[in-house]
Homo-oligomer: A and B are copies of this chain.
Amino acid sequence: MSKQDENLTLPHRLAQSIRNQLIAGVLKPGQKLSEASLADSFNVSRNSLREAFRLLTKDGLLRYEPNRGVFVAVPDIASIIDIYRVRRMIECKALEDGHPKHPALAKMRRAVEKAFACRDEGNWIGVGSANMEFHAAIVELADSSRLDAFYAQIAAELRLSFGLLDNPELLHSPYLDLNREIVGLLEAGRPKDAARMLSDYLDRSERTVLAAFSRTVQAQA
């Protein structure tokens, strides 16, 4: 994936591969990950795989059930609510205190443009990625590497929930204009307004995800 992936240690790379398969939907929520067969399919030893599992459980993407194995985490309504609670808290505060000259603002702008470009060519997956980048950039306004890492984790978990959903267009495209407005408000030195707008926006997004989620779960039951 990245340039220096070769440098990283095997369990790290493994974890990254599994992470990719998770957000790509190859591995599905609730699915059991057998040590033997996964190790086999990746051509690594069980021990290395177990190290990767430990990393991913810390990310909240996998769940350990002692003596039974590891399973892909199953997002539920409570976790979605929890994640949005955290997002409102962190993103809004970061935006509110964000300085108009902060370098992260440029990232936000770039993410917005990328999202529009992807939409124009019907690339909904690209829109989704760009949208995630936009929100990560908001968090960067707070200038905390620990917060950035925490947010990345939350975001990965949320993507797992998205995986259950079917319609990326519905999920991301309504917010492109709002994203652009938020950038504008922050550039205009009106961070409070930007934060308020983001808060409403997250409320709406949460409702959409919860609604789509309960439909999906219902369909499965």
Residues of B within 8 A of A47 (CB): 47, 50
Are A86 and B54 neighbours in the complex by a CB distance under 8 Å? no
Residues of B within 8 A of A217 (CB): none
Are B90 and A89 neighbours in the complex by a CB distance under 8 Å? yes
Residues of B within 8 A of A54 (CB): 11, 51, 54-55, 58
Closest B residue to A15 by beta carbon equals B54
Q: Which of A7, A50, A59 has most chain B Cβ within 10 Å?
A: A50
Docked Cα-Cα span, A201 to B182, in Å, equals 32
Closest B residue to A55 by beta carbon equals B54
Stretch at the interface among A33-41, A104-112, A139-147, A164-172: A139-147
Closest B residue to A150 by beta carbon equals B150
Are A9 and B85 neighbours in the complex by a CB distance under 8 Å? no
CB proximity of A203 to chain B, nearest CB, Å: 15
Residues of B within 8 A of A150 (CB): 150
Identify A86's interface contact among B50, B51, B85, B146, CB under 8 A: B146
Are B82 and A93 neighbours in the complex by a CB distance under 8 Å? no
Chain A 47-87, CB-CB to B under 8 Å as 1, else 0, gives 10011001100111000101000000000000000110110
Identify A146's interface contact among B94, B145, B154, CB under 8 A: B154
Docked Cα-Cα span, A146 to B152, in Å, equals 13
Docked Cα-Cα span, A60 to B94, in Å, equals 23
A188 within 8 A of B: no
Are A9 and B66 neighbours in the complex by a CB distance under 8 Å? yes
CB proximity of A67 to chain B, nearest CB, Å: 9
Are B58 and A142 neighbours in the complex by a CB distance under 8 Å? no
Docked Cα-Cα span, A54 to B47, in Å, equals 12
11 CB-based A-B contacts, threshold 8 Å:
A11-B54, A55-B58, A58-B58, A58-B59, A82-B145, A83-B146, A85-B143, A86-B147, A89-B90, A93-B93, A146-B154
Interface residues of A (CB under 8 A from B): 7-9, 11, 47, 50-51, 54-55, 58-60, 64, 66, 82-83, 85-86, 89-90, 93-94, 142-147, 150, 154
